Amino acid sequence: MTENPEFARLVSLACHDLRTPLATVYGFARTLTRAGDLADPAARYVGMIEAAAQQMTVLLDDLGVAARIQSDRYAPVPLERDTVELAHGAAARVDKVTVSGTEGATVEVDVEPFERALAGLAHAAQRHGGLESAEIAVAGREFRIGPVTAEAADVVLARELKDMGAAVALMLLDASGARVALDGETLVVGL
Query: What is the domain-level CATH number for residue 165?
Result: 3.30.565.10
Residues 32 and 126 in one domain: no
Residues 86 and 176 in one domain: yes
Residues 93 and 152 in one domain: yes
Residues 86 and 35 in one domain: no
Residues 62 and 39 in one domain: yes
Residues 109 and 15 in one domain: no
pLDDT at res. 38: 87
pLDDT at res. 2: 45
Per-residue pLDDT of the chain (191 residues; tens, 9 = 90+): 445 778 887 888 888 898 899 999 999 999 998 988 889 999 999 999 999 998 898 889 888 888 889 888 899 999 999 999 999 999 999 999 999 998 999 999 999 999 999 999 999 999 999 999 999 999 999 999 999 999 999 999 999 999 999 999 999 999 989 999 999 999 999 99
**Cα dist. 94→8, 99, 119, 175 in Å?**
28, 12, 6, 22
Residues 9 and 52 in one domain: yes
Range of the domain at 15: 5-70
Q: What is the CATH number of the domain that holds 53?
A: 1.10.287
Residues 126 and 185 in one domain: yes
What is the DSSP track for the chain? --S-HHHHHHHHHHHHHHHHHHHHHHHHHHHHHHH--PPTTHHHHHHHHHHHHHHHHHHHHHHHHHHHHHTT------EEEEHHHHHHHHHTTSTTEEEE---B-EEEE-HHHHHHHHHHHHHHHHHHHT-S-EEEEEEBTEEEEE---HHHHHHHTTSS---HHHHHHHHHHHHTT-EEEEETTEEEEE-
Residues 177 and 97 in one domain: yes
Residues 55 and 17 in one domain: yes
Domain end residue (candidates: 48, 70, 92): 70
Residues 108 and 63 in one domain: no
Integer-rounded Cα radius of gyration of the chain: 18
Count the domains in the chain: 2
Residues 56 and 89 in one domain: no
